[in-house]
Structures are given as structure tokens and as C-alpha cells.
Structure 1
Amino acid sequence: MSTPMNSKVILEAQGIVKVLGTPPNEVKVLKGIDLQLHTGELTLLMGPSGSGKTTLLSILGCILSPTQGKLEVAGFQTHNMNTEELANLRRKHVGFVFQSYNLVPTLTAVENVMLALDLRDLKGPDAYDQAAEALEAVGLGHRINAMPSKMSGGEKQRVSIARALAGSPSVILADEPTAALDAKNGMAVMELLAKVAQDTRRAVLAVTHDHRTLQYADRIITIDDGRIAGSERPKLSGKEVQVPAH
């Protein structure tokens, strides 16, 4: 499979299997997933409900451990890491964007971003400057002191993206980032994620059901019944991507 020049693998999963529950009620949710994320790319992960997308995202983000398989993030092999080591890797190298924003309602936009930096042990004026820079990068430089209650849904998701971007993670993982937004704001957020990937050379992976977002993807991975069903680069191939029905 061809890949863009000046792009490198920053996350690689090999043979990922995830079993949930205990016998005789265990369920194999993931059944041998292989994938790579490349710097500077927006990858979309699509597939029917219940296909394993959210479980896979949790494993790639070092929140869940796989039952079998190997994961490498930013050059670090995770299979021998303990809980504390995984948490440190996650804090330093993975940024998350959530469907429900997860902003602290009593904090301003810049304070919400600084909270994420605090988890990365960055405090004080340097944290403020980085948070303000991240908000500027997502088009909210004029709203750094706004409270979440005074923001639109699109603005809240931009703060969420700024929070993920602050601290310079290697990978940004977004779980249904447009699901709570109207069509206009949803497309603006997905366009922003594509810009973040290109401009900052981060690898961005977004789980989505929204076929209108396909135009922004460098790569589209489809998952069905716990297996990779397809992987396409529409900008290179010019092909229309077929995604399993929901």
C-alpha cells in the first residue's frame, strides 16, 4: 500500500485480539487487528455499530490492554508495561477528543486546556502560553476566557481538540467527534482535524459514522465483526470507499 512521502509510522498494532467477559459468556470483540497510523494523516475508522471500533480505540489509546497482540506507540512497546507505565505513555503521547466534549463547566476555555497540561506536569505561565497557542490553532484565540456555558457545540469541540493538541502528543484519537454537532459544525470540526494532522504532523484517528466526513480523510479503515474489512486511501486512488451498513 502506497503512503505519502515524509510520513512515518507512529503507532502500530499487530494481531490485536480482545475478549470481554468470562467463560461461558465471553465475547471476542476484536479478532486479529493489524493497522498503522502515520504522521501527518487523518485516518477515519468506520463500520457498523457493535463492530469493535470503540474497543479498538481504547486499546490504541492505552486505556484497555489487548488479550493478545502487540501495540507500539511512539516507539514504545506496550505489552510488558504495567498500569502506571501505560498511564505515563498515554499522558505524554496520546490526546483524546470525546463526543461529549468533557469540559469542566466551571473553568474557562484556556483553563480547560491547561488542565490537560497539568496532567503532563506542565504548569504556570508556560502552561498558559501553550494552552493559548493551542486555542489559537483551532480558531479560538479570541475565546480563551469564555465559559463552556457561553460556547456553541462547535466551539466546545474545538476546545476539546485544543486540549488534545496541547502538550504535543504523538497521536490524537477522536471518538465520534461530530456526533453531537449539526452538519455545518460537524464538517468544520472534521476539516479542523485534517488541518491539525497536516500542519502539526500528528497522526489523527477519528471514529465516525458520518459519511459526509469522508472527503477529509487521508485513509479510511473499515471494521466489521471485529476484523479489518478494508483500508483505502481515497485521495491517492480516487476510488469511492464502500463502508458496511450500520
Structure 2
Amino acid sequence: MSTPMNSKVILEAEGIVKVLGAAPNEVKVLKGIDLQLHTGELTLLMGPSGSGKTTLLSILGCILSPTEGKLTLSGFKTHNMNTEELANLRRKHVGFVFQSYNLVPTLTAVENVMLALDLRDLNGPDAYDQAAEALEAVGLGHRINAMPSKMSGGEKQRVSIARALAGSPSVILADEPTAALDAKNGMAVMELLAKVAQDTRRAVLAVTHDHRTLQYADRIITIDDGRIAGSDRPKLSGKEVQVPAH
């Protein structure tokens, strides 16, 4: 299928296999995954519980290493990298958005975003300016000094997205970003992720069970039993996408 103009492959997984445990109790969670993420796109990864979505997300984000296969992220081939090298690649090129926000409760919104920048060796006034700019980009410029306890769920998730954006990573990976939100806030978060994904320097991948998010996707990948079960670009094909039940 065709891809957007000015788009490029920013992440490529080839033949990814992941085995957990040891014989005779080992489980092959991923069974040869081939996947590309293109800049300028919001990709949804969907499938039933136990299909391997979270494991795949962790491998794409350089948190886990595959048992077999190769991963290339922003031009860097990861299969010969050690733990420290993978951590450095993750810090520089991957932003994470979590279902449970993972904000530090004792820090303000801007301080939570600055914490991510500090991990990328950026601090001081420049870090504050970048953090404030990221919060402005997600519509929270007026809440930079708010504490998490004073924020709604939707606001907390926007801070999480701002934190993921800080430092301009190549790939943003979101794990069930709407699961803890009501319908209104969940759709607002998806609209924001779709907007973030329009940047042709970046790709966004979201794991989700929420079928209401389909309307925001440039591409939908389905996974079942550790294998890619389908891939479609509904905005280009005009087709309705069938997603495995969970």
C-alpha cells in the first residue's frame, strides 16, 4: 500500500522472535514480526489480549531485546548493542506515553517534562524553555506549574505526551493511552497524538483496544498469536478495518 509523501521509514523490525522462559516451559510470544513505522503517521497496533502487543512495543522501544531478528531505529542497527548502548538510543530517539501516566507526584507539570530532558543530558534554562514549549504544544501552557494531584486524567495524559515529545524523539510509543480516560478525554488525547504524528520527522505507534480510536489512524496493524494478522491504511483505502476481538 502507498505511504504518505515525504514519509520515510524511521523504524524497521525484521523477523522479530521473542521467547520467554526456558525449556521445557518456554513460550514463543512473537513468531517472526516484520514491521515498518513511517514518519508522519499515526499507527495503531491492535489485537486480542495475549497476542504479543506489549512485548512487541517493548522491543520496538529498546526495552527488551529480541531472541531473534533485527531492529533498526533512526538508522541505528540494534542487534549488536549492549544494554548501555540500547539505553542511550532509547533516551535519544524514543518517547513513551503510558496508560497510567507515570508522573512524579511531587513535581509540577513542567518539572515532570524537564525530568525527561535531564535524562537526555539537557538541564537548566534551556530545559525549562523546551519543557514549557512542549506543554504549550499539548495545550497546557497555562498549567505548567500545576501538580499532578490538581490535574484531570486528560491533563495528566497530556503532560505524559509533552514529556514524550521533549527532546524531539524520532518515535513515540504509546501503550493504551486512552484506557484510563473517559470517552471525551480519550478522544481528545487521540486527536493530539494524530496531530503530533503529522510531523514528518516522527512516527507515532499506539497500542490500543479502543475501537473508537480507529478514526484517527493513518495505519492499523493487527497482531494475533505473535504474528502480524493484517495491515491497512483506512484513510487511503476507504475500507472498514476488521480488528480481532479481545
Deviation sequence 1:130-177 (CA, Å, 0-9, x none): 000000000000000000000000000000000000001000000000
1:199 deviation in Å? 3.8
Q: C-alpha separation between the residues in 2 aligned to 1:111 and 1:200?
A: 28
Which residue pairs with 1:223 in the alignment? Answer: 223
TM-score by length of 1: 0.99
2:186 is aligned with 1:166: no
Which residue pairs with 2:154 in the alignment? Answer: 154
| Structure 1 residue runs of 4 or more that deviate by more than 3 Å after TM superposition | none
Change (3 A) 1:194 1:201: farther
Identity of aligned residues (%): 96
Contact 2:6 2:200 (C-alpha < 8 Å) held by counterparts: no
Aligned residues: 246
Deviation sequence 1:10-29 (CA, Å, 0-9, x none): 00000000000000000000
Q: C-alpha separation between the residues in 1 aligned to 2:4 and 2:102?
A: 34
1:200 deviation in Å? 6.1
Change (3 A) 1:110 1:200: farther
TM-score by length of 2: 0.99
Change (3 A) 1:8 1:193: same
Q: C-alpha separation between the residues in 2 aligned to 1:207 and 1:113?
A: 22
Contact 2:134 2:162 (C-alpha < 8 Å) held by counterparts: yes
Question: Tell me, what secondary structure is at the counterpart of 1:45?
Answer: strand
1:202 deviation in Å? 1.4
Q: C-alpha separation between the residues in 2 aligned to 1:126 and 1:68?
A: 41
Contact 1:39 1:201 (C-alpha < 8 Å) held by counterparts: yes
Contact 1:41 1:201 (C-alpha < 8 Å) held by counterparts: no
2:71 is aligned with 1:76: no
